[in-house]
Amino acid sequence: MKLVRQPTVLQDEASFDHEGRAGVPARTLGTILSNRADTDSRLVVATADLAWSTFVAEFLERHPRRFFQAGISERNMLGFAAGLAASGYIPYVTTFSAFASLQSLDVIRNDHAYTNLPVRTIGTHCGISMGYFASSHHAIEDIGALRSIPNLTVVAAADLNAMEGLLRDVHDLPGPVYIRFGRGADGPPVYQAPNEVRFGEVTQVHEGRDILLLTTGIGVHAARDAARALGEEGGLSVTVGDLHTIRPFPIERIAALAARHRAVVVAEDHVIDGGIGTSVQQALLECGVDTPVFKHGLRDFAIVGPPSHMYRYYGLDALGMAIVVRRAAERLEQPASTRYREALWGSADMARILAEQGRADLERQTSSSGRFADAVR
Amino acid sequence: MAVERSNQTPAELAAHCVAVREAIMQSAAICGSGHYGPSFSCVEILVSLYYQFMRLNPNEPSWADRDRFILSKGHACSTLYPILADLGFFPKEELRTFTRLGSRLGDHPDMRKVPGVDFSAGALGHGLSIALGMALAARLDESNRRCVALLGDGELNEGQIWEAAAYAGANKISNLLAIVDANKVCVDGATEAVLDMEPIDAKWRAFGWHAERVDGHSLSQLLDHYAEFERRRAEGGPPTVLIGDTISGKGVDFIEGKAEWHIGFLGGVDVERALESIRRTQSAH
């Protein structure tokens, strides 16, 4: 197989993840995997018609014999990866998160986890980062689905340095790993070097005293910016933790961190039921830590839009996270019985964002529970 | 090193078939339930593979260059277990624990528990992809080992089978052999009535495979076709599929071809009738 095309450069200035992408970045996921494969003959890569989108095309160039183009057949790809793993190889398979985790869940469960084989499934374009591609391409339930599967390790990389650090640590694990990743170029990096991230830890990217803001993947950069802004405003000192290790969940570390803050806010590009917020709640309950936990994330299938607009709409950019953290601090003044009654980020906030974007006309359709019903009528 | 077994006489192979069918009856008696139809239908296929064709070493179950076998229709494991035990992969006495609390031998095979089982199975539609991956690994390793997957004909309803078939056909995965146990029965009735996949052989040919229909109860036909597969493999030809036309419940004359005996229980006098039928029926070869 030969390289046949360059990736399409999407011209969407409003969307940060497309800014400045004149072509494939100098260093990609494919670079990390190819470098590793230079010294590890067990490493093979497969993709399902997404070599460029998932940034593994470099592997095809550098290790063509160990690259498998599965075509658009994710389940077969994850299946044959298990056959390769049972024969001594360490396959890395890439596709969009929605197809890796949800469409192919049964293969991960039966052929990777039940068999405890070292397949590494990299789901890129996680959460709502596919933006206007719509809910079929969003993965906002993958953590919920995967965190219940025995033997499976689940990690999320905030940027390429985190990816390299996590892959270094999980590469030789005997069992399967699911790696949640963004679009591969989601704005400026969080980490300066792979060594800053260690599997099994909660990496603190901002130190504070009052509120513990936990997030994962693409959200880490925004959370750190939010913490910085709140600190500069004065009044709120925020610790930001990157929950890159999702399974096994670092229960004791989270409990210890939570215990020395007044509240925990978990922000995630995932539904709030069964995501990392739920894991945090469980951890604190099990450890007897009674620090209040506020979950901030998606509650429904998402609307469409450019990704950066959608993070703003759902309060998952730096501005939204700062507002949410401030509100959480205010809620602490309320009795526990009313503290969680309303979401920290609600329909009024979403309506405001639509109005700011000049889309007030859409407000009625998108903020009601029967989304688009009026438009259809 | 492989244990050579290619000197098995037709009579010896036929005797193995009778013994395996008797063992299936014993397993069902222990469990109180048996997948009679799909277990009896694949006896000759498994006996011809394990006692004659495949290169294995029971003393070294994880020998890297052994041939691989994926029982994609995992519900027929009571056909596989007695063969593995007889070959010495685990003690025969352990067959008595079949499906009992804490046993290694469940009603679908677990590779992490049962020596000689190359992959866990049960959820249908997965096995051909697994065998395909093992065949890709053999290629990378430049090994001559062969990878065999046994599929049910009802299982061909599963879409993932055809994803794997497309890949193997397009990429000429010569060392991959699929065998379809076409016993014409699935849980809700005849495959023809549930979801008809005929003409099965034409479908595989359209996916780039060398496809042949064979009598799945004829040991000699099966062995001849394995030899042809090996020849094509050595020449780098297309992957091979054998559509083994079989009879559900083969060997127990009063359940043969009856969909209601896909799963069930034979007790009391029916056991004696079944065993008499099994011993009376000489496997064709």
What is the total count of domains within chain A?
2
CB neighbour class for A38 (10 Å; exposed up to 12, middle 13-18, buried from 19): exposed
A361 within a domain of the structure (yes/no): no
Q: Specify whether A280 is located in the same domain as A154.
A: no
Task: Tell me how close the Cα of A78 comes to any Cα of chain B, in angstroms.
Answer: 8
Query: A3 in a domain, yes or no?
Result: no
Is the same domain home to A137 and A258?
Answer: no
List CB contacts (< 8 A) between B135 and chain A. 83
Q: Are residues A131 and A235 in the same domain?
A: no
Q: Do both A344 and A200 map to the same domain?
A: yes
* Measured CA distances, A233 to A24, A107, A204, A223, A326 (Å): 38, 49, 21, 15, 11
Q: Each residue of A271-329: pLDDT tens digit?
A: 999 999 999 999 999 999 999 999 999 999 999 998 888 999 999 999 999 999 999 99
Block residue for tokens 């230079």:
A38
Residue A2, in any domain of the structure: no
Mean pLDDT of B251-258: 95
Phi/psi of residue A246, each to 5°?
A: -95, -35
Both A257 and A122 in a single domain? Answer: no
- Helix axis angle, A74-85 relative to B127-140, nearest 10°? 50
- Cβ separation A116–B123 shorter than 8 A: no
Instruction: List the domain boundaries for chain B.
Output: 10-280
CB spacing of A83 vs B134 below 8 angstroms = yes
**What is chain A's pLDDT, residue by residue, as a tens digit (377 residues)?**
344 444 444 444 444 444 334 456 788 999 999 999 999 999 999 999 999 989 999 999 999 999 999 999 999 999 999 999 999 999 999 999 999 999 999 999 999 999 999 999 999 999 999 998 999 999 999 999 999 999 999 999 999 999 999 999 999 999 999 999 998 777 789 999 999 999 999 999 999 999 999 999 999 999 999 999 999 988 899 999 999 999 999 999 999 999 999 999 999 999 999 999 999 999 999 999 999 999 999 999 999 998 888 999 999 999 999 999 999 999 999 999 999 999 999 999 999 999 887 765 555 444 444 343 343 33
pLDDT at B167 over 70: yes
Residues A343 and A212 placed together within one structural domain of the fold: yes
Cβ-based contacts of B129 with chain A (< 8 Å): 75-76, 78-80, 82-83, 107, 111
pLDDT tens for A191-205 read 999 999 999 999 999
Under 8 Å CB pairs connecting chains A and B tally to 100
B chain contacts of residue A116, beta-carbon cutoff 8 Å: 112
Provide the domain limits for residue A305: 195-355
User: Do A220 and A342 have their domain in common?
Assistant: yes
For A106, B180, B197, the CA distances from B245, given in Å and listed in that order, are 30, 8, 14
* A32 domain-assigned: yes
Joined together, the tokens standing for residue B175 give 């060392």
Q: Using the beta-carbon criterion (under 8 Å), do A79 and B129 form an inter-chain contact?
A: yes
Considering the domain architecture, whether residues A144 and A215 belong to the same structural domain is answered as: no
Task: Please check whether residues A151 and A212 belong to one and the same domain.
Answer: no
Residue A62, H or E segment: helix A57-62
Residue B248 to residue B185: CA distance in whole angstroms: 7
Look up the ipTM and state it: 0.94
Query: CA-nearest residue of chain A to B147?
Result: A83
Distance between CA B54 and CA B65 in Å, rounded? 11
Q: Which of B68, B160, B170 sits opposite A79 (nearest CB)?
A: B160
Which of A66, A84, A110 is nearest residue B126 as measured by Cβ atoms?
A110
DSSP A215-242: E-TTHHHHHHHHHHHHHHHSS--EEEEE
Does any CB of chain B come closer than 8 Å to the CB of residue A79?
A: yes
pLDDT, residue A183, reads 86
Q: Are residues A173 and A318 in the same domain?
A: no
Contact call for A76 and B132, based on CB within 8 A: yes
Backbone angles phi and psi of B254, in degrees to 5:
-85, 0
Hey, of B70, B118, B120, which one would you mutate to test binding to chain A, going by the most A CBs within 10 A of its CB? B120
Of the candidates A156, A180, A204, which is a domain's last residue? A180
Kindly provide the residue ranges of all beta strands, DSSP E only, lying in A110-215, ordered along the sequence: 120-124, 153-156, 177-180, 203-206, 211-215
What proportions of chain B, in percent to the nearest 5, are helix, strand and coil? 45, 10, 40
Residues A203 and A172 in one domain: no
Between 3.40.50.300, 3.40.640.10, 3.30.1160.10, 3.40.50.970, what CATH number should domain B10-280 receive?
A: 3.40.50.970
Q: Decide if A248 touches B, using CB distance below 8 A.
A: no
What's the gap in Å between the CA of B110 and the closest CA on chain A? 8
For the CA atoms of A98, A166, A34, A70, the dihedral, rounded to the nearest 10 degrees, stands at -20
Q: What is the CATH number of the domain that holds A298?
A: 3.40.50.920
**pLDDT digit string, tens, across residues B115-144:** 999 999 999 999 999 999 999 999 999 999
Q: Which residue of A has its CA nearest to B110?
A: A115
- Residue B173 belongs to what H/E stretch? none
Cα separation, A227 vs A234, in Å, equals: 11
Of A180, A208, A227, the residue at which a domain comes to its end is A180
Cβ-defined contact of B129 to A83 (cutoff 8 Å): yes
Of A160, A174, A166, A151, the residue nearest A247 (C-alpha): A151
Tally the C-alpha atoms within 13 A of residue A236's C-alpha that lie toward its C-beta: 25
Do residue A132 and residue A173 come from a single domain? yes
